């Protein structure tokens, strides 16, 4: 049985995040290999089925109607167009299509009926189907499930404390309520966030506290690096470093051992070496395709070349994530107490020189 904790504290997660990098990578890779095939990566294609005109004010998003960006809006795609894009994605190695619509929330009616038909159509192609459509009611979640939806994406974006500095048009609780509605169906949850939006390390830890507290935890957690877009409030923020991404991926892997950690937005700014470190640290899912809704992404052929170089294989569709078993604070994924990192031991306060001292005595 797998072991998953739902009672991580912010202090514990910060201790993990700030572990000396080589130790952090080792700890994360050890846990990753216990729960996942380190040479298999799930590949998703993200498709914007309705672009622009969103009434929200998310500070990072070029699709908000109130910002003056170069995003060209479009009405809801036809089912036939979506099917053609899904077939193209499947032929390039994707096992999942994630459809995104720039809506604040789903509204019952002809457009939602059209989305349901898209879900049915892609499901018949033997591909996983994911949607990110904004806030969702319990009834809408059940209708999506009946149509064959595999996953629903609804990111927390950041910590509850920092959330109001990023978005004012909906509350953090609204996001949790949507995730709860999805959980009342048999649809899996994809929920993560963005780093590099001006938040503190405590906010990154706070976001992970919120995600790990969910029971069950999300089956997929996207870790995005902010892609600053001209015309948005965050256009002048400097890109986050690769080391921040590696640490965030590794920390997520340690505190969410069963979850697929998705290396998402920002990969165009990462070298192959940087991405390889993220895979080693526990990332085992990516978005493929030249765009992530509206922001640039590496070309599929480049990703497949990188996979070949690293010996990675695309994951087959409908690979199930095993159900986690809740454990108490202090337990970990390591076989014996001697193998446990110091941060995993009950009541331990981290001494940054402690591991070095122990090795010197050995």
DSSP H helices, 214-241, are: none
Picking from 189, 152, 203, the residue whose alpha carbon sits closest to that of residue 10 is: 203
Q: Which of 58, 131, 247, 278 is catalytic?
A: 58
Task: Give the separation between CA 102 and CA 54, rounded to whole angstroms.
Answer: 5
Q: Which of 5, 96, 130, 253 is catalytic?
A: 130
Query: Could you give the C-alpha distances from 122 to 50, 93, 130, 256, in angstroms and in order?
Result: 17, 15, 10, 29
54 is catalytic: yes
Q: Which of 5, 98, 183, 267 is catalytic?
A: 98
170-175: Cβ within 8 A, 24+ apart:
170/56, 170/104, 170/135, 174/135
With b for 16 or more beta-carbon neighbours within 10 A and e for fewer, the 288-311 pattern comes to bbeebbbbebbebeebbebbeeee
**Nearest 5°: CA angle at 109, between 104 and 113?**
95
Given a contact cutoff of 8 angstroms between Cβ atoms, the answer to whether 97 and 123 are in contact is no
Q: Which of 61, 175, 183, 204 is catalytic?
A: 61
278 is catalytic: no
Given a contact cutoff of 8 angstroms between Cβ atoms, the answer to whether 170 and 104 are in contact is yes
Q: Which of 54, 143, 175, 204 is catalytic?
A: 54
Task: Give the separation between CA 145 and CA 188, rounded to whole angstroms.
Answer: 10
Picking from 218, 270, 281, the residue whose alpha carbon sits closest to that of residue 241 is: 270
| Token pair 């729960």 in the structure block, residue | 35
Q: Which of 204, 253, 262, 267 is catalytic?
A: 262
Query: Could you give the C-alpha distances from 76 to 86, 112, 113, 280, 340, in angstroms and in order?
Result: 16, 10, 12, 38, 51
Q: Which of 190, 247, 253, 278 is catalytic?
A: 190
What is the set of active-site residues? 54, 58, 61, 98, 130, 190, 262
């Amino acid at each position: 049985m797998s072991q998953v904790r739902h009672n991580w504290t912010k202090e514990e997660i910060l201790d993990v995040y700030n572990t000396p990098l080589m130790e952090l990578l080792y700890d994360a890779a050890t846990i990753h290999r216990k729960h996942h095939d380190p040479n298999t990566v799930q590949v998703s294609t993200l498709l914007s089925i309705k672009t622009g005109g969103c009434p929200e004010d998310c500070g990072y998003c070029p699709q908000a109607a109130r910002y003056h960006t170069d995003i060209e809006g479009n009405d809801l795609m036809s089912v036939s167009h979506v099917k053609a894009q899904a077939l193209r994605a499947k032929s390039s190695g994707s096992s999942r299509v994630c459809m995104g619509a720039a809506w604040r929330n789903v509204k019952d009616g002809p457009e939602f009926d059209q989305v349901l038909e898209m879900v049915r159509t892609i499901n018949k192609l033997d591909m996983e189907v994911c949607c990110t459509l904004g806030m969702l009611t319990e009834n809408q979640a059940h209708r999506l499930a009946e149509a064959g939806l595999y996953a629903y994406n609804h990111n927390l974006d950041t910590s509850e404390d920092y959330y109001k500095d990023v978005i004012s048009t909906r509350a953090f609780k609204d996001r949790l309520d949507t995730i709860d509605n999805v959980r009342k169906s048999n649809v899996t949850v994809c929920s993560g966030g963005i780093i590099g939006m001006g938040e503190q390390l405590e906010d990154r830890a706070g976001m992970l506290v919120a995600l790990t507290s969910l029971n069950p935890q999300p089956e997929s957690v996207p870790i995005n690096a902010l892609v600053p877009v001209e015309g948005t409030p965050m256009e002048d923020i400097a890109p986050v470093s690769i080391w921040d991404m590696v640490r965030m991926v590794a920390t997520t892997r340690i505190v969410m051992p069963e979850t697929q950690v998705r290396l998402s937005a920002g990969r165009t700014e990462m070298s192959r070496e940087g991405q390889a470190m993220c895979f080693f640290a526990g990332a085992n899912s990516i978005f493929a395709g030249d765009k992530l809704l509206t922001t640039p992404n590496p070309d599929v052929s480049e990703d497949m070349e990188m996979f070949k170089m690293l010996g990675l294989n695309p994951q087959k569709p409908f690979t199930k994530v095993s159900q986690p078993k809740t454990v108490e604070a202090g337990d970990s994924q390591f076989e014996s107490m001697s193998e446990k990192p110091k941060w995993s031991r009950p009541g331990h306060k981290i001494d940054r020189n402690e591991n070095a001292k122990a090795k010197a005595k050995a």
